[in-house]
Amino acid sequence: MKILKYITAVFALLFVIASCEKEVANPELTDTDYRVYFWGSGENAYNVAREGFDVMLGESLEIKLMNTPSDGTDIKWVLASDSSLINKTFNYTFAPEEEGLQKTWFVSSRSSGFTDTVTFNFRGVTDGIVRDAKSEMAVWQNFEYPQGVINGSFTAEFDMVAEKNNTNCITGFQQGEAAAFGDLSAIVRFTTAGNFDARNGGAYDFDNVINYSAGLTYHVRMEVDAMNMKYDVFITDADGLETQLADDYGFRKQVSNLSHWSVVADNWDTPAENQGYHTISNMDITNAVQNIRPIISPVEDVTMEEGGSEIVTIRAKDPLGGIATLTAGDDLPRFAKFVDNENGSATIVMEPYFACGGCDVGTHTISYTATNSEGETEGSFNVTVNPLENITITVDIADATIFESGTTQLNPNHTSIDIGAADYGTATQMNAVMPFALPAIPEGKEIVAAYLKVNVEFNNASWGAKPSYDVYALDARDTPEVLYTDFYKGAYDEDASATAMQQGFYADGDPLGEYVMSSGSAENMADFITQQFENGATAGQFVFLRINSSVDNPTWVQSKISSYETSNADNRSELVLILKDK
């Protein structure tokens, strides 16, 4: 608080000069235009009155006021401590007989019922020291900040003097007027152990031992962050040495705006011989940074694996006392679900897929916005999705026998799916039958997904019915030879010799390029391969995955899959097994 010091002689001269002036005529104004000014100067009285006046004991200060509009207005001076009437004029003389604060109200009442109150903080001082407050035993004294309510950060500096050693005296900062210790948020205290401490959330504590002696002046500096409910405390002793008492301490009462400070001397659990008082001098509250838009609490980046689940809570505070609305940004990944809890928080549940060919692997930025009536505040964090351990098996047909044109051919360039009127085993009736060598599964691991990945190089739009292409799995065998009986054409899941895995993997006329089995089908494939091992299959044996037409089309159509070893290595068909700990 910046203290205004007035010399009585100067005021006396000013008021003598002012008394010679003529009465000021007031314009016709309404209640909403009502204001109180210092007489003869036109200076608004509200802020100056709140900051206060310091008057040496034995001297006096005369205050003269004026108001507009004045017609239909009753005025009076009232002592705040007991609401007793002082007078009903524009003038008041403050002549202190003891040190301390006297709060006085200038009250204006309009005939319409409108009432306006100006709070004057008068202080009696000696030797130029501003005695802001002297504590009383179990009596709460509360004082407003000159800035009013602060919901940002500020610095409070003041001097503390203990009347006795090993006493129990508290200076606190809080929202509104305190009537109990639980009302205080930030606290610095003289303790019965003879040292300073401060409140850190649920208990008193100190980072460094700072002892005190009765009668000596200790300068206190508090750096307070009301919005984040944290504060630091520094104590300067009589030798001028500053020591940190508290670093990033949490508020006792969790509120995000403060408006008052208070003092009290406590007799609870304090020996009678140590019960005493303390004095606060030169209280100065400055550097206030007010917040208007929502404040978002920082969120740490997240690292997780495919198939995992993480929940992140976003918290936003509305400095205006309301509840901020939280919304997700356009970059929200498909595996994340954002829910505004409508209480100043939002929940993001992240469950990246583990059976989609690494579709969610990588680093994703998740942004969000908190909104109140004054504007928006944006926040973000990164989530990195790492792949689960996997085994990739490339199609193996080194010894496979492929039926083509009525004969067999080793290592053709493509696995063709040719459909026509002829029977199995001819150039016009083929399936894509792909052998994959079973790997050894590491000890302690299990297969949670297995997906087929292929590259379609040719997919001719057909005449007549347009087929789709389905995926089947065939039981494990010792060699990769493709048998005549492996072929099939017809409706999905009606081949008793194979296990249906995915219907409509792709359709005739679909775009060329990479196709990956769906996550649900990949989980079914994992169950199939696991069952193969449980039925006695071993590493080095072969399972067969087949892609075939869903219809027996009387006209010719063709699709080609780049699966063989003579194809582009990047385009070869793969079976990827996703593993996790059992």
What is the average pLDDT value for the chain, to the nearest integer?
85
Identity at 134, one-letter amino acid code: K
Of 6, 284, 5, 50, which is closest to residue 159 (Cα–Cα)? 284
518-530: per-residue pLDDT in tens? 989 999 999 999 9
Is the pLDDT at 53 greater than 90? The verdict is no
- Positive or negative torsion for Cα 188, 191, 194, 199: negative
- Residue 462 — pLDDT band, cuts 50, 70, 90? low
Which of 207-211, 266-270, 434-438 has the lowest average pLDDT? 266-270
Minimum mean pLDDT range among 4-13, 202-211, 233-242: 4-13
Answer yes or no: are the C-beta atoms of 173 and 239 closer than 8 Å.
Answer: no
Query: Does 167 have pLDDT greater than 80?
Result: yes
CA angle 133, 135, 141 (to 5 degrees): 70
Confidence of residue 139 (pLDDT cuts 50, 70, 90): very high
Closest CA to 433 of 560, 557, 575, 545: 545
Residue 414 in this model has a pLDDT that exceeds 50: no
Where is pLDDT greater, at 255 or 251? 251
Share of the chain above pLDDT 90, in %: 54
319 pLDDT above the threshold of 60: yes
pLDDT at residue 535 in the model: 96
In which band, very low, low, confident or very high, does the pLDDT at 113 lie, cut at 50, 70 and 90? Answer: confident
pLDDT tier at 9 (50, 70, 90 boundaries)? very low
| pLDDT band, residue 419 (cuts 50/70/90) | very low
Q: Is the CB of residue 486 less than 8 Å from the CB of residue 544?
A: yes
Mean pLDDT along residues 212-218: 93
Most confidently modeled range among 174-183, 264-273, 396-405, 567-576: 174-183
pTM: 0.49
Tokens of 139: 């009596």
Q: Check residue 28 and give its pLDDT.
A: 63
pLDDT digits (tens, 9 = 90+) for 348-358: 999 998 877 78
Q: Would you tell me how many other CB atoms lie within 10 Å of the CB of residue 494? A: 9
State both tokens at 67. Answer: 């108001």
Whether the predicted pLDDT of 217 surpasses 50: yes
Higher model confidence: residue 18 or residue 334? 334
Share of the chain above pLDDT 70, in %: 86
Cα–Cα distance measured from residue 151 to residue 227, given in angstroms and rounded to the nearest whole number: 6
Q: How far apart are CA 20 and CA 430, in angstroms?
A: 117
Q: How far is CA 580 from the centre of its chain?
A: 32
**Cα–Cα distance, 42 to 45 (Å, whole number):** 9
Residue 276 corresponds to which tokens in the numbers above?
A: 């005493």
Q: Give the Cα separation of 557 and 578 in Å (integer).
A: 34
Question: What is the rounded average pLDDT of the residues 296-321?
Answer: 92
Q: Phi and psi of 155, rounded to 5°?
A: -115, 130
DSSP string, 255-317: -S-B-EEEEEE--TT--GGG---EEEEEEEEEEEE---S-EEPP---EEEETT--EEEEEEEE
**At 392, which amino acid appears?**
T
- 544's CB contacts (< 8 A; 6+ apart) are 433, 434, 435, 436, 473, 474, 477, 482, 486
Choose the weakest-confidence range: 298-302, 453-457, 538-542.
Answer: 453-457
Confidence class for position 464, pLDDT limits 50, 70, 90: low
Over residues 21-41, mean pLDDT: 70
Burial bucket for residue 481 (CB in 10 Å: 0-12, 13-18, 19+): middle
Q: Give the phi and the psi of residue 512 in degrees, each rounded to 5.
A: -75, 160
Domains of the chain: residue spans and CATH: 4-109 (no CATH), 131-289 (2.60.120.200), 295-387 (2.60.40.10), 391-581 (2.60.120)
Q: Give yes or no for a contact between 400 and 478, defined as CB atoms under 8 angstroms apart.
A: no
Identity of the residue numbered 246 = A
Q: How confident is the model at residue 118 (pLDDT cuts 50, 70, 90)?
A: very high
pLDDT at 338: 97
Per-residue confidence band for 395, with pLDDT thresholds at 50, 70 and 90: confident
- Cα–Cα distance, 351 to 335 (Å, whole number): 5
Q: From 57, 60, 234, select the one nearest 129 (Cα to Cα).
A: 57
Q: At residue 132, what is the residue type?
A: D
Gyration radius of the chain's alpha carbons = 42
Model confidence band, residue 26 (pLDDT cutoffs 50, 70, 90) = very low
The pLDDT of residue 565 is 58
Return the percent helix, strand and coil in the chain, to nearest 5: 10, 50, 45
Pairwise CA distance, residues 175 & 160, whole Å = 22
Q: Which neighbouring-strand residues pair with 236?
A: 219, 242
Q: Which of 254-268, 417-431, 463-477 has the lowest mean pLDDT?
A: 417-431
Structure token pair of residue 80: 């705040």
